[in-house]
Every structure is written in structure tokens, then in C-alpha cells.
């Protein structure tokens, strides 16, 4: 018997066994659909029988359940509707891993979450458009992993009724929010929308009617907390979210604000009464008080509240990661900050063991957050992702955090939310269970239970995707297909500088990635459940292959011209050299066309960056132009005649 996440306690019973029949399967499916007993499955909600379970956090009674499977009946006793739902998810896993006619040993399972809130964050702000059906699909699979919070990172990409000037086609609407909330509720998932109320407000402050609220008139990043119109402005935004989302929490951002105190009004205020930390706390407290009046609690990011002089080992202190850091001592805001605000202490690469205890000791509730993707997070976890997931969430549990979540950022150029379910499942298990997973065993169990495949194929494919083509490829790849000088971005590859060792020459890397492409096709066929979640795992591989093809062509040009020079008087050799270059360009065009189609598909299905499609179209035009010049020349033309300057 296997489970995902692993329950707190599994006791094999009296030696009798449970026959798995088509009738039992139908009963389980019916119970899951109706949430009512369907013989031989009995469901009951009895908090009094549950609340004294040893180790059960008092806030998690409603999510706890006891599942007793005997030869005659299967009984799920739960502390609440969520517990019943989770008991049924466990039962589904039990019957799914057997075939009709086989039997399971009688078993008793005692289970509850270690953390009350276990979440995923979806970055819908960075170049994404909203896709309702995809989001429902995400919620379905979250529920199967017993995740119960979906944080929607919106920035300005919501059709705020109070601000029609911000509306654009493809932004999530209030009607969609209401429908999604109802859908999520049926899966015991809560939606937590985020609108940034201080920094990261470009999508809101870039339009003319809102420009006067900027902290720096030349920069749409941040709103001025001293402008008397700013608070009513952000309260209107959060009110729109309160109206549209049936949720206990609204996330108000507050991360990465290096310019606090930039404008003359803010500077005058600082000189008169105080401290940037106080200014920050006053802004947050005003929003939090308003939200409390409306029955909601505020969540905020924690980076501005940790001082890197106090926590040098914390990745995000003093307002964020490298490049965002500020020295304006906002950590002092903790002195004045409303204790009702929940702090999302986010540490993507490394964290200090004491920081969560420190914030807890000051009286704050916490929901710490990590980025669980080494590739998507260029500053990546230094000791590997499994080490980071386990340590971080274990620290969250030990600190008494009310929840935690894992984040995804900037999904474009081959980064796809659905390619991350392995990381999500690891996070889900660590947030739910007291048990600690072992990487290899987890991969096997995940593939078996989540995708219904016999072999642990996903971790293998995941590694193939993560073999990095370029150091920091996350930052370079978005520029890959820029019309102007697409080759310019590539410096010489610095092999060996990445934690996952690159393999050598561009040709070797292409070969490796192509093998993973073959593996991907096989893997999709092996999945008997949720195979559609694997549909886009080829895309990051194809992006890397295209990048390496560009390298390969550039590296080949010099050699081909040198060969042509040695055989200057031989027209046949000149023609062969020209044809070799044409062949290289044709290969690039095939790959680029394939990617164009894949990007179009991602845009339609998931709402991934539509610009990816446009960029790949423009790149094809560039290649076509190069090809024509080369093909119509009588013999091998000078480099400058056909290829862009940065390539020649
Ligand atoms: Zn200001």
C-alpha cells in the first residue's frame, strides 16, 4: 500500500482482507461525488471522536479523518467535511493501486495535516492571460494531493470593477473569480488573490489616470504611501477582490520595495516623525484594518521585515534578492505592525533557522513560501531541491506556522505550470505529513499514484529538463527569439558553472536533450492517469535544443569559411560550403516552427505568454531572410552579405 501524501499513521489490521471489486470502485466514486455513504463505504462526521487524536493540531480537526477498512465495510470518520473529503482521496488511492479481483489487507489509517494551510501560488501576472478551465484542472489535482490553498498572484491582471482603465482582454473577471471560488470550495480549496499595494505596481501605475500616485514619477513600480489619494486607491482594489473572492485571506504584497522614502512628501514625513519602518507599518496597518472590517485577514510577503544584518543567511532579507535589496531598515516595521497580518516569509534559496521562530515570538502568524523549481529560480537552492523542501517546510511546521506554500514565477519561454507537479507533490507531502520523503522512493510513488505508471519516469525527465543549457538560462532564454540580434545574448557558455553539470559541446547537449524528447513521448504513453499534465514537458527541452542549434551554427560558420578559403579556386567546394550553411538554417527553421506551434498551444490552453508566439514568428522571418540571401548567391557569399552582424 502506498499513499501520497503519506498519512500520519497506517496500521495493518487483523489479517483479514478487503476485496477490490467493480462494485467497490463504483461505491467509492459515488461517495466522492455525493459525499454521502454508498455501501460498503460509510461516511460520518464526528468531531468528538476525532479531536483527541494524539498529535492533531487543534486548528486541523475539521481536516482530520480515520479510515477503517475491514472485510465488510469501509468507514471514514472525519472531524469535518474537509476531513471526509481527504479520507475519500486516500480511499481512491487505495483502490486505484489495485486491480479488480485483488485484495487489500484490512487497514486503519489515522490522518490529519501538520499545517492547516497548504498551498500553491500561481503567477498569473507575468505575461499570462487567464484560462478558467485550466485553473479548475489545477484545483482538481491540488485536491488529490490534499492541498487546500491556491494563491493567485494577479498584480494588475484582474478586471477590477473600480478601475476600468486597467481592464484588458484575457484578465480574470469577477464572474470567473466567483465561479472558480465555488468550484474550489467543492474541492476544499480556498483561493487567495493578491494585489500588490506598495511595490510591483507597474501594471496598475503605468496608465495615465494613475501616474500621479507614483513614488517616483519616472518609475511605475511603486505607489507613494504619503499621497493622501493612495490609500483610498489601494482600498478600492482590495475591496474589488473581497467582493469577488469568497476567501478568508487577501494577499496585499509588500515585497521588494527599495525606494521607500524617495519622494519629497515621504522624505518630509521621515524627517518629521520617524522611520521608514513606521511608514511601512502604517501603510500596511491601514489596509489590514480595512480588510478586517470586511471580515478578511491580510497576508504579506516578509522580506522587508527581516534585516540582513540580523539574518545574514536569509536569502530574502532587506527587501528581497540580489538587485532588490534596500538599506532602509524597514525591518523595524515589526515594532508597529498589526499582529493580525500574516507574514509570508519567502526564502527561495536559503533561510536562517531562527527567522521563523523570531517572527513567531513577536506574535505573528506565518505562511512561509519557497520556490521549489531549481531551473525556474536562477539563484536556486544551493543544496538541491529535496534538501530545501524538507528543511524549509519542517522549519515552518516546527515554528507553529499556520500554513506554507510553494511558488511559481514567470512562466514563459518553455516554463509551464503543469511541468512542476513533481515539486508540488513533494511540497504537498512535506506540508501535510510528519514523515520525511526520500527522493528516489518518492519519485516511484509519485509516478505510480499520481500518473498510474509502473516506472519512475517523471524524475528522469525532470532531470533532463533541468540540465541547463546556459548558466542563468532563466534570464537569457526570454531574449532568445528577439528580432534584433537574436544571437547577441549568448556569451561563450561557461560549462561547469551550474550545479547540474552541463554536458559539453552544443552538439552533445542537443543529443542529450533529444534523448529526453524520445523519453518524453514514451512517458506520456505510460501514464494511465492525468497524462494531459505531461503534454508540455517537451517545450523546455525544445527551447534548449533551439538555443544550442543557434550556438552550433555560430560555431560552425568560422570552420566552414576557413575550409572554403583553403579551396578558393574550387567551385564545387564553395557550393558544398554554402549548402552546409543552408542545411544548418533549415534545421533551425524546423525547430523554430515546431516551437511556434507549441507556444501557440500553450497560449490557448494555459494562457502562457502570447508574445512567445509572436517572437518565434519574427525569428522565422529573420531565418527566412538569411536563407534567401544565401540560397540566391551564385557561390558562397561573404558572411556580411547574409548573416546578422552579431553572428558573423
Ligand atoms: Zn512618497
**pLDDT bracket for residue 387 (50, 70, 90):** confident
What's the pLDDT at 601? 96
Question: Is residue 628 located within the same domain as residue 523?
Answer: yes
Using the 8-state DSSP alphabet, how is residue 18 labeled? E
Expressed in angstroms and rounded, the spacing between residue 254 Cα and the centre of ligand 1 is: 15
Q: Is residue 172 part of a domain?
A: no
What's the pLDDT at 45? 98
**Cis ω before 313 (30° cut-off from 0):** no
pLDDT tens sequence across 70-91: 999 999 999 999 999 999 999 9
**pLDDT bracket for residue 326 (50, 70, 90):** low
Q: Is residue 375 part of a domain?
A: yes
Expressed in angstroms and rounded, the spacing between residue 607 Cα and the centre of ligand 1 is: 35
Rounded Cα distance between 203 and 128, Å, is: 13
Q: Is residue 170 part of a domain?
A: no
Q: Is residue 157 part of a domain?
A: no
Q: Is residue 421 part of a domain?
A: yes
Q: Is residue 155 part of a domain?
A: no
Question: Is residue 518 located within the same domain as residue 427?
Answer: no
* Final residue belonging to a domain, choices 67, 84, 111: 111
Q: How many domains does the chain have?
A: 3
Question: Is residue 429 located within the same domain as residue 478?
Answer: no
**pLDDT bracket for residue 382 (50, 70, 90):** low
Expressed in angstroms and rounded, the spacing between residue 282 Cα and the centre of ligand 1 is: 13
Count of other CB atoms within 10 angstroms of residue 46: 13
Expressed in angstroms and rounded, the spacing between residue 168 Cα and the centre of ligand 1 is: 28
Question: Is residue 103 located within the same domain as residue 231?
Answer: no
Question: Is residue 430 located within the same domain as residue 496?
Answer: no
Residue of higher predicted confidence among 322 and 102: 102
Residue 619 predicted with pLDDT over 90: no
What's the pLDDT at 209? 96
Residue 474 predicted with pLDDT over 70: no
What's the pLDDT at 377? 52
153 forms beta bridges with: 123, 194
pLDDT tens sequence across 167-210: 999 999 999 999 999 999 999 999 999 999 999 999 999 999 99
* Cell numbers linked to 405: 506554500
Expressed in angstroms and rounded, the spacing between residue 262 Cα and the centre of ligand 1 is: 6
Residue with cell 545574448: 489
Expressed in angstroms and rounded, the spacing between residue 222 Cα and the centre of ligand 1 is: 9
> In CATH, what number is assigned to the domain containing residue 63?
3.30.379.10
Expressed in angstroms and rounded, the spacing between residue 215 Cα and the centre of ligand 1 is: 5
What's the pLDDT at 374? 62
**Which chain residues have CB less than 5 Å from ligand 1, an ion?**
215, 224, 226, 263, 265-266
Expressed in angstroms and rounded, the spacing between residue 366 Cα and the centre of ligand 1 is: 29
Rounded Cα distance between 516 and 545, Å, is: 11
* Final residue belonging to a domain, choices 111, 136, 156: 111
Question: Is residue 336 located within the same domain as residue 402?
Answer: yes
Expressed in angstroms and rounded, the spacing between residue 289 Cα and the centre of ligand 1 is: 21
Q: Indicate if ipTM > 0.85.
A: yes
Domain that holds residue 267: 198-437
Q: Which of 274-283, 547-556, 605-614 bottoms out in mean pLDDT, i.e. has the lowest?
A: 547-556
For 258, list phi and psi in degrees, rounded to 5.
-75, -15
Rounded Cα distance between 289 and 285, Å, is: 6
Mean pLDDT of 419-443: 95
Expressed in angstroms and rounded, the spacing between residue 202 Cα and the centre of ligand 1 is: 16
**pLDDT bracket for residue 261 (50, 70, 90):** confident
Residue 605 predicted with pLDDT over 60: yes
For 127, left (φ over 0), alpha (ψ -120 to 50), or beta? left
Q: Is residue 175 part of a domain?
A: no
Question: Is residue 379 located within the same domain as residue 508?
Answer: no
Residue 319 predicted with pLDDT over 90: no
Mean pLDDT of 386-406: 94
CB 607 within 8 A of CB 129: yes
> In CATH, what number is assigned to the domain containing residue 331?
3.20.20.80
Question: Is residue 398 located within the same domain as residue 483?
Answer: no
Expressed in angstroms and rounded, the spacing between residue 338 Cα and the centre of ligand 1 is: 22
Residue 541 predicted with pLDDT over 50: yes
Rg of the chain, C-alpha, whole Å: 27
Question: Is residue 343 located within the same domain as residue 415?
Answer: yes
Please state, in angstroms and as integers, the Cα–Cα distance from residue 618 to each residue in 269, 487, 611, following that order. 50, 14, 10
Q: Is residue 606 part of a domain?
A: yes
* Final residue belonging to a domain, choices 437, 453, 471: 437
Question: Is residue 240 located within the same domain as residue 349?
Answer: yes
Question: Is residue 488 located within the same domain as residue 427?
Answer: no
Residue 375 predicted with pLDDT over 90: no
Question: Is residue 429 located within the same domain as residue 468?
Answer: no
CB 356 within 8 A of CB 305: no
Amino acid at each position: 500500500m502506498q499513499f501520497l501524501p503519506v498519512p500520519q499513521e497506517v496500521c495493518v489490521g487483523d489479517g483479514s482482507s478487503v476485496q477490490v471489486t467493480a462494485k467497490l470502485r463504483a461505491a467509492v466514486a459515488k461517495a466522492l461525488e455525493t459525499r454521502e455513504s454508498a455501501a460498503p463505504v460509510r461516511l460520518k462526521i464526528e468531531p468528538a471522536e476525532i479531536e483527541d487524536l494524539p498529535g492533531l493540531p487543534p486548528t486541523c480537526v475539521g481536516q482530520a479523518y480515520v479510515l477503517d477498512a475491514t472485510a465488510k465495510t469501509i468507514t471514514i470518520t472525519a472531524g469535518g467535511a474537509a476531513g471526509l473529503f481527504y479520507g475519500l482521496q486516500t480511499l481512491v488511492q487505495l483502490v486505484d493501486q489495485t486491480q479488480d479481483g485483488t485484495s487489500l489487507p484490512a487497514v486503519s489509517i489515522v490522518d490529519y495535516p501538520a499545517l492547516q494551510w497548504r498551498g500553491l501560488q500561481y503567477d498569473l501576472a507575468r505575461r499570462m492571460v487567464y484560462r478558467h478551465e485550466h485553473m479548475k484542472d489545477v484545483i482538481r489535482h491540488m485536491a488529490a494531493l490534499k492541498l487546500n490553498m491556491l494563491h493567485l498572484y494577479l498584480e494588475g491582471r484582474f478586471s477590477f470593477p473600480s478601475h476600468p482603465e486597467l481592464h484588458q482582454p484575457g484578465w480574470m473577471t469577477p464572474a470567473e473569480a466567483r465561479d472558480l471560488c465555488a468550484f474550489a470550495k467543492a474541492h476544499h480549496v480556498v483561493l487567495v488573490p493578491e494585489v500588490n499595494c506598495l511595490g510591483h505596481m507597474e501594471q496598475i501605475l503605468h496608465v495615465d489616470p494613475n501616474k500621479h500616485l507614483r513614488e517616483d514619477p519616472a518609475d511605475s513600480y511603486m505607489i507613494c504611501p504619503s499621497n493622501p489619494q493612495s490609500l483610498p486607491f489601494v482600498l478600492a482594489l482590495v475591496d474589488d477582490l473581497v467582493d469577488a473572492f469568497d476567501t478568508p485571506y487577501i494577499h496585499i504584497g509588500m515585497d521588494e520595495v527599495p525606494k521607500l522614502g524617495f519622494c519629497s512628501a515621504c522624505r518630509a514625513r521621515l524627517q518629521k516623525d520617524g522611520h521608514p519602518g513606521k511608514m511601512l507599518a502604517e501603510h500596511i496597518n491601514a489596509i489590514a484594518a480595512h480588510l478586517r472590517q470586511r471580515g478578511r485577514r491580510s497576508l504579506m510577503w516578509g522580506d522587508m521585515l527581516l534585516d540582513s544584518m540580523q539574518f545574514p543567511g536569509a536569502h530574502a532579507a532587506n527587501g528581497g534578492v540580489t538587485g532588490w535589496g534596500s538599506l532602509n531598515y524597514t525591518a523595524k516595521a515589526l515594532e508597529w505592525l498589526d499582529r493580525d497580518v500574516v507574514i509570508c516569509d519567502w526564502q527561495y534559496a536559503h533561510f536562517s533557522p531562527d527567522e521563523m521562530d523570531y517572527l513567531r515570538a513577536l506574535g505573528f502568524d506565518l505562511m512561509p513560501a519557497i520556490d521549489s523549481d531549481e531551473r525556474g529560480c536562477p539563484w536556486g537552492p544551493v543544496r538541491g531541491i529535496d534538501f530545501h523542501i524538507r528543511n524549509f517546510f519542517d522549519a515552518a511546521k516546527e515554528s507553529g506556522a499556520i500554513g506554507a506554500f510553494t511558488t511559481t514565477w514567470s512562466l514563459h519561454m518553455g516554463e509551464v505550470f503543469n511541468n512542476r507537479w513533481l515539486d508540488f507533490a513533494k511540497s504537498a507531502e512535506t506540508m501535510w505529513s510528519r514523515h520525511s520523503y526520500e527522493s528516489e522512493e518518492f519519485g516511484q510513488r509519485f509516478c505510480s499514484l499520481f500518473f498510474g505508471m509502473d516506472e519512475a519516469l517523471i524524475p528522469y525527465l525532470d532531470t533532463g529538463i533541468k540540465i541547463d543549457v546556459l548558466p542563468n538560462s532563466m534570464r537569457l532564454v526570454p531574449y532568445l527569439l528577439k528580432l534584433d540580434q537574436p544571437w547577441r545574448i549568448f556569451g561563450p557558455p561557461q560549462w561547469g558553472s551550474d550545479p547540474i553539470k552541463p554536458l559539453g559541446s552544443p552538439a552533445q547537449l542537443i543529443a542529450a536533450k533529444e534523448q529526453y524528447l524520445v523519453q518524453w513521448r514514451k512517458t506520456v504513453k505510460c501514464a494511465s492517469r492525468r497524462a494531459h499534465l505531461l503534454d508540455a514537458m517537451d517545450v523546455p527541452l525544445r527551447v534548449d535544443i533551439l538555443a544550442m542549434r543557434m550556438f552550433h551554427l555560430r560555431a560552425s560558420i568560422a570552420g566552414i569559411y576557413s575550409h572554403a578559403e583553403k579551396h578558393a579556386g574550387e567551385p564545387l567546394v564553395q557550393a558544398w560550403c554554402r549548402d552546409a550553411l543552408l542545411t544548418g538554417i533549415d534545421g533551425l527553421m524546423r525547430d523554430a516552427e515546431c516551437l511556434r506551434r507549441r507556444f501557440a498551444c500553450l497560449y490557448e490552453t494555459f494562457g502562457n505568454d502570447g508574445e512567445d508566439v509572436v517572437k518565434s514568428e519574427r525569428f522565422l522571418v529573420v531565418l527566412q531572410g538569411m536563407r534567401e540571401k544565401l540560397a540566391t548567391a551564385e557561390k558562397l557569399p561573404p558572411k556580411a552579405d547574409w548573416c546578422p552582424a552579431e553572428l558573423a
